[in-house]
């Protein structure tokens, strides 16, 4: 069997269907299987990325033996491959982090691992697929797994957060369905390359309507204003590995779909301006809201929304450098925010309240964890020499190149806000008066391991950004080359 992109979908599904049976054989298998699958997928990513980088051509896999546009196909290009590899890498680390999750309770553990694996598969599928309706199906897989995982815990407001998420998510899927329907009536196909090829035949009014429907439907997963009301609750109520998964995978899939629709499917210039405007609003509102939060996880959630606004701005600028910066920021956000969520959840776990005030002085008790959190905090606000610095710098340069000086000013201003609220937490951790109410829970070995790996990656990329920029540059080029995407997909087998 040759290694091909469909392994990303088929094997997790096979494992998910097998797991209820294997759980009857041995309880431990439930925890091991997702890890085995994810590790294998990491291997697949390495092999495929190597192949794609060597040939410079995307791998396009037809499914069920039907060429595009008759059947569904998977596109593993340098762009989607980069995102998928990042997602699988993060998912593996999150799996290691949550290995001992629900150790005593067997039934919920089974459900947790199945849902977690499907959350990963759904996000990866959204990125890989070359078919718009198939993308919708994968979004629904992601969404249903997210709703269930958000309301996983019974001792907090999980069900409330889950219901809010579900409400917005269902409306979003309605909009997306309508958009797909209208698109189908206009171009008569569901393959994204063919849609892009035929897009110029669609009347302008119809095009704008469809685009608006798409933006509303997809903006929800991408946490775009004003559709992100679900995010702070979901992030703070979900189990912390799931919070990290939202930040590292689900949001990335949402942004990807938004970008794919605007960059490849449609040829409307106004969409880019729209991205910038929505990005700025999202950024400003989220960062100021984050400053007001007293709950650590809510603060991290708002910060996550803000970062996504930043990504949208960068994509909206639309030049090669800006797209490069945006992809770099997506990479950084995935690793840094996961580190923050993991170490943050440890603080929450060890203090009596979820409030930032309840954590004062905890950094003295757990110097290593405090150190990790500080690395994450410094990296995400963009201080040198951490990895976050480079992405912010590239985006600022790209904005300055396009002489969008107001934009540069806004980004710098918001960065100050960011610095203020992250430093407030770090200061509290180290210089706050330790409360003696804390209960000591040491993180597991897996927890230490994955957090250390993330911190090392942050520092490594910070000092030697060149190890990753090559991939991102090629990814940005691939994304912007719309003609190549169309011809590559449609020329299969012709």
Partner 1 sequence: MIFNIIFFSLLAIIILAAAIYAVVQKDLLYAVIATGVISLVLSIYFFIMQAPDVALTEAAIGIALTTIIFVITIRNTSRREDEIPVNKEPDREEETK
Partner 2 sequence: MDPILYNKIISVGVYGSAIGLILIGLYAVLVKKHLTKIVIGLSIIDSGVHLLFIAVGFIKGGTAPIFSEKGIELVNQGTAMVDPVPQALVLTAIVIGFGVTAVALSLVIRLYRHHHTARIDHIKSLKW
Partner 3 sequence: MKRAFILLLLVVVGWVLADTFSQINFGESRMGDIKQQETVGAYYLNNTVEKLSVANVVTAIVVNYRGFDTLGEVTVLFLAASGLASILYRRKKRGEHDVMILKNSSQLLQTGAKLIFPAILVLGAYVFIHGHLTPGGGFQGGAIIASGFLLMFMAYKDYHVSHNVLTWVESIAGILFVSVGIWGLISGATFLENILGTGTLNDLVSGGIIPLIYIAVGFKVAAELTGVLETLLNFKTEK
Residue 398 CB, nearest distance to partner 3 (Å)? 35
232: its two tokens: 């702070």
Residue 177 interface partner, choices partner 1, partner 3, partner 2, none, CB cut-off 5-8 Å depending on type: partner 2
Q: Is 100 helix (H, G, I), strand (E, B) or coil?
A: coil
Residue 338 CB, nearest distance to partner 2 (Å)? 26
Residue 51 CB, nearest distance to partner 3 (Å)? 17
Of 73, 132, 123, nearest to 94 (Cα)?
Answer: 123
CA 339 and chain centroid, separation: 14
Rule CB under 8 A: is residue 31 a binding residue for partner 1? no
Q: How far apart, in whole angstroms, are the C-alpha atoms of residue 378 and residue 426? A: 9
Rule CB under 8 A: is residue 21 a binding residue for partner 3? yes
Nearer to partner 3, 237 or 332 (CB): 237
Q: Is 131 helix (H, G, I), strand (E, B) or coil?
A: strand
54: its two tokens: 């060597």
For residue 66, the 8-state DSSP code is: B
Q: At what angle do helices 367-381 and 445-463 cross, to 10 degrees?
A: 40
Please enumerate in sequence order all residues whose Cβ is within 8 A of that of 209, keeping only pairs 6 or more positions apart, or say none: 182
Of 306, 284, 263, 280, nearest to 404 (Cα)?
Answer: 280
Q: How far apart, in whole angstroms, are the C-alpha atoms of residue 359 and residue 353? A: 8
Strand partners, 75: 60
Size of the site for partner 3 (CB under 8 A): 60
274: its two tokens: 């729209």
Residue 173 interface partner, choices partner 3, partner 1, partner 2, none, CB cut-off 5-8 Å depending on type: partner 2
Rule CB under 8 A: is residue 43 a binding residue for partner 3? no
For partner 3, the binding residue among 28, 105, 160, 401 (CB under 8 A) is: 105
Nearer to partner 1, 133 or 153 (CB): 153
Contact 369, 347 (CB under 8 A): yes
Residue 462 interface partner, choices partner 1, partner 2, partner 3, none, CB cut-off 5-8 Å depending on type: none
Contact 302, 286 (CB under 8 A): yes
Nearer to partner 3, 144 or 410 (CB): 144
Rule CB under 8 A: is residue 229 a binding residue for partner 3? no
Size of the site for partner 1 (CB under 8 A): 8
Nearer to partner 3, 117 or 334 (CB): 117
For partner 3, the binding residue among 147, 310, 347, 390 (CB under 8 A) is: 147
Residue 133 CB, nearest distance to partner 1 (Å)? 15
Nearer to partner 2, 180 or 377 (CB): 180
Of 154, 94, 113, 122, nearest to 341 (Cα)?
Answer: 94
Rg (CA), the chain: 22
Contact 67, 191 (CB under 8 A): no
Rule CB under 8 A: is residue 154 a binding residue for partner 1? yes
Residue 257 CB, nearest distance to partner 2 (Å)? 17
Contact 119, 34 (CB under 8 A): no
Residue 5 has φ and ψ, to the nearest 5°, of: -60, -25
Contact code string over 68-107 relative to partner 1, x by CB under 8 A:
----------------------------------xxxx--
Place of tokens 């400053």: 291
Residue 170 interface partner, choices partner 1, partner 2, partner 3, none, CB cut-off 5-8 Å depending on type: partner 2
Residue 115 interface partner, choices partner 3, partner 1, partner 2, none, CB cut-off 5-8 Å depending on type: partner 3
Size (the chain), residues: 494
CA distances from 430 to 362, 365, 441 (A): 7, 9, 19
Contact 87, 120 (CB under 8 A): yes
Residue 102 CB, nearest distance to partner 1 (Å)? 7
For partner 3, the binding residue among 20, 270, 434, 470 (CB under 8 A) is: 20
CA 459 and chain centroid, separation: 21
Q: Determine the interface stretch with partner 3 among 33-41, 142-150, 301-309, 378-386 (rule: CB under 8 A).
A: 142-150
DSSP assignment string, 234-248: HHHHS-HHHHHHIII
For residue 62, the 8-state DSSP code is: E
Rule CB under 8 A: is residue 153 a binding residue for partner 1? yes
For partner 3, the binding residue among 41, 44, 83, 115 (CB under 8 A) is: 115
Q: Determine the interface stretch with partner 3 among 17-25, 85-93, 299-307, 404-412 (rule: CB under 8 A).
A: 17-25
Nearer to partner 2, 166 or 248 (CB): 166
**Which parts of this chain interact with partner 3 (CB under 8 A)?**
1-2, 4, 6, 9-10, 13-14, 16-18, 20-21, 24, 61-66, 69-72, 105, 107-108, 111-112, 114-115, 118, 121, 125, 131, 133-134, 137-138, 140-141, 144-145, 147-148, 151-152, 154, 159, 162, 178, 182, 185, 188-191, 203, 206, 209
């Amino acid at each position: 069997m040759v290694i091909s992109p469909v392994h990303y979908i088929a094997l997790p599904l096979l494992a998910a269907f097998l797991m209820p049976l294997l759980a009857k054989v041995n309880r431990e298998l439930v925890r091991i299987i997702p890890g085995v699958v994810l590790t294998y997928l990491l291997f697949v990513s390495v092999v495929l990325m190597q192949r794609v980088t060597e040939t410079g051509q995307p791998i396009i896999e037809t499914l069920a033996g039907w060429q595009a546009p008759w059947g569904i196909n998977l596109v593993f290009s340098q762009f989607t491959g980069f995102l998928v590899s990042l997602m699988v890498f993060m998912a593996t680390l999150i799996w290691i982090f949550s290995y001992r999750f629900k150790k005593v309770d067997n039934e919920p553990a089974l459900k947790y691992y199945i849902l977690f694996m499907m959350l990963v598969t759904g996000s990866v599928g959204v990125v890989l697929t070359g078919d718009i309706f198939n993308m919708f199906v994968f979004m629904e897989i992601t969404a249903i797994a997210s709703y269930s995982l958000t309301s996983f815990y019974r001792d907090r407001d999980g069900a409330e957060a889950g219901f809010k998420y579900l409400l917005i998510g269902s409306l979003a899927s309605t909009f997306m369905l309508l958009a797909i329907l209208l698109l189908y009536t206009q171009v008569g196909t569901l393959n994204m390359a063919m849609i892009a090829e035929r897009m110029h035949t669609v009347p302008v009014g119809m095009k704008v309507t469809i685009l608006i429907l798409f933006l509303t439907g997809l903006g929800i997963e991408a946490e775009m204003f004003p559709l992100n009301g679900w995010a702070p609750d979901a992030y703070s109520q979900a189990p912390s590995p799931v919070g990290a998964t939202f930040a590292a995978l689900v949001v990335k899939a949402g942004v990807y779909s938004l970008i794919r629709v605007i960059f490849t499917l449609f040829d409307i210039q106004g969409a880019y301006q729209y991205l910038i405007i929505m990005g700025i609003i999202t950024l400003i509102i989220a960062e100021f809201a984050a400053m007001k939060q007293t709950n650590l996880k809510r603060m991290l959630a708002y910060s996550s929304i803000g970062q996504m606004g930043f990504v949208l701005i960068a994509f909206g600028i639309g030049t090669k450098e800006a797209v490069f910066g945006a992809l770099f920021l997506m990479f950084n956000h995935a690793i840094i925010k996961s580190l923050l969520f993991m170490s943050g959840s440890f603080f929450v776990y060890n203090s009596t309240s979820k409030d930032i005030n309840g954590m004062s002085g905890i950094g003295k008790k757990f110097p290593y964890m405090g150190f990790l959190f500080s690395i994450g905090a410094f990296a995400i606000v963009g201080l040198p020499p951490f990895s976050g610095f480079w992405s912010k710098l590239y985006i600022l340069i790209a904005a300055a190149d396009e002489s969008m000086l107001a934009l540069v000013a806004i980004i710098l201003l918001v960065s100050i806000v960011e610095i203020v609220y992250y430093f407030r937490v770090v200061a509290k951790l180290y210089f706050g008066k330790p409360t003696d109410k804390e209960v000591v829970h040491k993180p597991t070995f897996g927890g230490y391991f994955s957090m250390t790996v993330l911190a090392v990656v942050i520092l490594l990329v910070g000092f030697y950004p060149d190890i990753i920029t090559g991939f991102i540059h090629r990814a940005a080029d691939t994304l912007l080359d719309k003609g190549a995407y169309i011809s590559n997909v449609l020329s299969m087998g012709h």
